Each structure stands twice: as C-alpha cells, then as structure tokens.
Amino acid sequence: MYTDGQLPRLGFRAVLSAANQLLFIDIDNVTPNLTVRPPVRDALPFTLQDVRSAIPAHCFQPNLGRSLAYFFLDTGIITLLFWVAVQLDSLWFLPIYWLAQGTMFWALFVVGHDCGHGSFSRHRWLNNLIGHLSHAPILVPYHGWRISHRTHHANTGNIETDESWYPVTESRYNQMTWVEKLARFHLILFLYPLYLFKRSPGKKGSHFLPSSPLFRPSEKWDVLTSTICCMLMIAALVTVGFSFGFGFLLKFYLMPYLVFVMWLDLVTFLHHTDAEIPWYRGEDWYFLKGALSTVDHDYGIINPIHHNIGTHVVHHVFLSIPHYHLLEATAAAKPVLGEHYRKSKLPIWSALWSAYRSCFFVSDQGSQIYYQKPAQKPAQK
C-alpha cells in the first residue's frame, strides 16, 4: 500500500482496505516506502516517489498569506454580492445573484477543503478554524466531512471500500427500486445534503452523529463541534426567516445554496464517473492506481473562481498540495504519468451527458472493471 510522504507531517490517518473490511492504520509513526511497487497484476510503470520527484518541492508548501487571502477574498465577494442583491431586490438580478453567489459558496467550500487536507496551513488549529468558518455557513459539518473525505482519498478507485461516487454492481442495479434509480441516476446534482445525512447508498451512518460508523470514538468531540456549528447556522437562518420573511431567506440564501449543491455534485461526480476509467477489486487495487482513476476537467472561466478544483488527478495523489499549486504540480507530473493521466476533452455539460447516458453499473466479477449501461455486456479484465 502507498501513502503520500507528506501525510505523516499532517498527522493524517490513512484508511486502507484489507479482507473486505476497513483496517485503520495510524501512519503518524510510519515511514512509507515510496519506491517499492506492490506485486499486483498490471502494476503501474512508475512509483509514487517517481511522481513526487518530478514535482517542485515548493508545490507541497502552503503559503499562509496566500491561503488567507483566498479565504478573505471569497468571503468578501459573498458579502458584496449579498449586499448588492438586497439593495437592488430586483427580479431580473436575482437569477444572476443565485448563480454567482452559489458559485462563490462552492469556491468557499474549496478553501475549507484545503483546510481538511491540511494544505491551507501547517497549523492544525488554524485549519480547523478556517474550515469551520468556510463550511458551517454552507451547512457542511467540517469535521464530519473531513473524516469521511479522508476515507474516500485512502480508498479511491476501490469499489469495495471507496466512500463516495463508487458504482453499483450489475446485480445490485437489477435489485434497485425505481425510486432508488431515480435518485442515483437522475437526481445526481441534488444528492449532497442527503449524503451528509444518510451517507452513500449501502453504507450506514451520518456526518452529523458521533456514533456513526464513519468515526472513531476519539473523534466524537470534533464531530460534535462541527454539528453544533451547523445547528447554530440553521438557528441563524430560521431567525432571519422569522425576522425578514421566508421569502427573503429563499431569495438570498436557499437558492444560492441549491446552486452550490449542484456545483459540488457536478464537479465531484465528473471527477470519478467516466466510462473509460477503471475501478478495482481486491489485490489489483493499490493507492496510486486508485488515485489515478480520476479525471481532470476544464471549467473555462470558472477555473480560477473555484480555485482550479477541476485539476483533480494530482490532488488525489498528493493531498498536501494547496489548490494554488495544482496547475504547476500537474504540468510537472504529466510526463511521468503519461497515458495514466486523464483529462476530459469534452465541454462540461457534454461530459455530464456522456456519463449520465453510459455510467450505470459495473460487473459483479473481475478485478479491473469499467462502467457499463443496461443491455450491454459488462467488460471485465
């Protein structure tokens, strides 16, 4: 198994898969060997250390001033947009406001995302503070999300243990009710709030409850802290609703929040859903192979607004790279990754439509498998 050489410095705990169960390994005191390639079928022709060596060292270093600047820039724009929308209170401006503000909510989430990975700063207390300030206003429980997201990164591409956007098997697909299929395949842009409350299909737990199987007992107070922050935000929203009317709340918060949810689901869905990227089972999976089973996407003028989060492949390989170094790190890593680096050439909505039409389930058999659609024989290797 591989781990990022930066993770021990961050106190990060990898969640690795073994024998169809989650095996928790504290890597604070483990020095991973990044040069030995696992003896699995179809191992990659390079190691994690090969990729790391190609990336300039400064790409792994967060710049506190720069990180804080992005946080204050995003919150400043959000505040300005709200003020302008309230002052104008114009029907023609509202759709523009919803799109712009929802996009900025998404950008602010990405700042909190860096905090969750420890790539915002080298100070855990500051990461936790800014993480809560970024996520609680958009009703995301920072620690609950951070911990489940850790599990996702440690198991990316592993159909048995990945945390989010993993495919269903053909047999499970055939057993799904029409309601389940409606939610899973047709309402994909609205699933995030449900995921926070109910987790992914087939998995038990909630991001808000310390008793959830997602969390260790030692993480109880972290989870409670984030849940309380979200409850305080909800209380504030309810107070605003009673004070100014729920139409005010709908216009100036709930509609942008819906756009934020759509952005989050769109981007994360496209990162991990493509008919040409493999999923793995059992011994054919290891960290680097799974991490490369992701796809970069170009969002055009939105790229700098949402902090180049579409540059996702290298982020999955090295979690500690701040978002503002991802473009440089990706350019440096591509010669090493070669054909194993994937970037979609399709426009965003075309990529979404392609995945929507072709990615339904994977075979129940095989160790390297691909998405298929009904009435088409699943491919396996």
Coarse DSSP helix, strand, coil percentages of the chain, rounded to the nearest 5 percent: 60, 5, 35
Q: How confident is the model at residue 26 (pLDDT cuts 50, 70, 90)?
A: very low
pLDDT at 10 (0 to 100): 33
Q: How confident is the model at residue 36 (pLDDT cuts 50, 70, 90)?
A: very low
pLDDT at 16 (0 to 100): 33
Q: How confident is the model at residue 375 (pLDDT cuts 50, 70, 90)?
A: confident
Q: Is the pLDDT of residue 252 over 60?
A: yes
Q: How confident is the model at residue 40 (pLDDT cuts 50, 70, 90)?
A: low
Check: CB of residue 252 under 8 Å from CB of residue 86: yes
Q: Is the pLDDT of residue 338 over 80?
A: yes
Continuous segment of H or E residues that includes residue 169: strand 168-169
Strands 279-280 and 21-25 turn out to be unpaired
Check: CB of residue 342 under 8 Å from CB of residue 276: yes
Range scoring the smallest mean pLDDT among 16-20, 85-89, 157-161, 164-168 = 16-20
Check: CB of residue 276 under 8 Å from CB of residue 355: no
pLDDT at 203 (0 to 100): 82
pLDDT at 199 (0 to 100): 81
pLDDT at 376 (0 to 100): 54
Range scoring the smallest mean pLDDT among 139-148, 199-208, 215-224 = 199-208
- Length of the chain equals 381
In Å, how far from its chain's centre is CA 253? 23
Secondary structure of residue 126 in the 3-state scheme: helix
Q: Is the pLDDT of residue 73 over 50?
A: yes
| Interatomic CA distance for residues 78 and 61, integer angstroms | 28
* Averaged confidence pLDDT in the chain: 88
Q: What are phi and psi of 330, to 5 degrees?
A: -65, -45
pLDDT at 5 (0 to 100): 35
pLDDT at 283 (0 to 100): 86
Q: How confident is the model at residue 20 (pLDDT cuts 50, 70, 90)?
A: very low
Range scoring the smallest mean pLDDT among 33-37, 60-64, 238-242, 314-318 = 33-37
**What is the token pair recorded at 346?**
């399709």
| Interatomic CA distance for residues 138 and 181, integer angstroms | 27
Tell me what the mean pLDDT of segment 344-369 comes to: 94
Q: Which residue has the higher pLDDT, 7 or 192?
A: 192
| Interatomic CA distance for residues 265 and 352, integer angstroms | 11
User: Tokens 């981007």 identify what position?
Assistant: 267
pTM of the model: 0.86
| Interatomic CA distance for residues 145 and 150, integer angstroms | 8
Q: For residue 334, what are the contacts with CB-CB under 8 A and spacing of at least 6?
A: 341
CA–CA–CA angle 104, 320, 223 (5° rounding)? 70
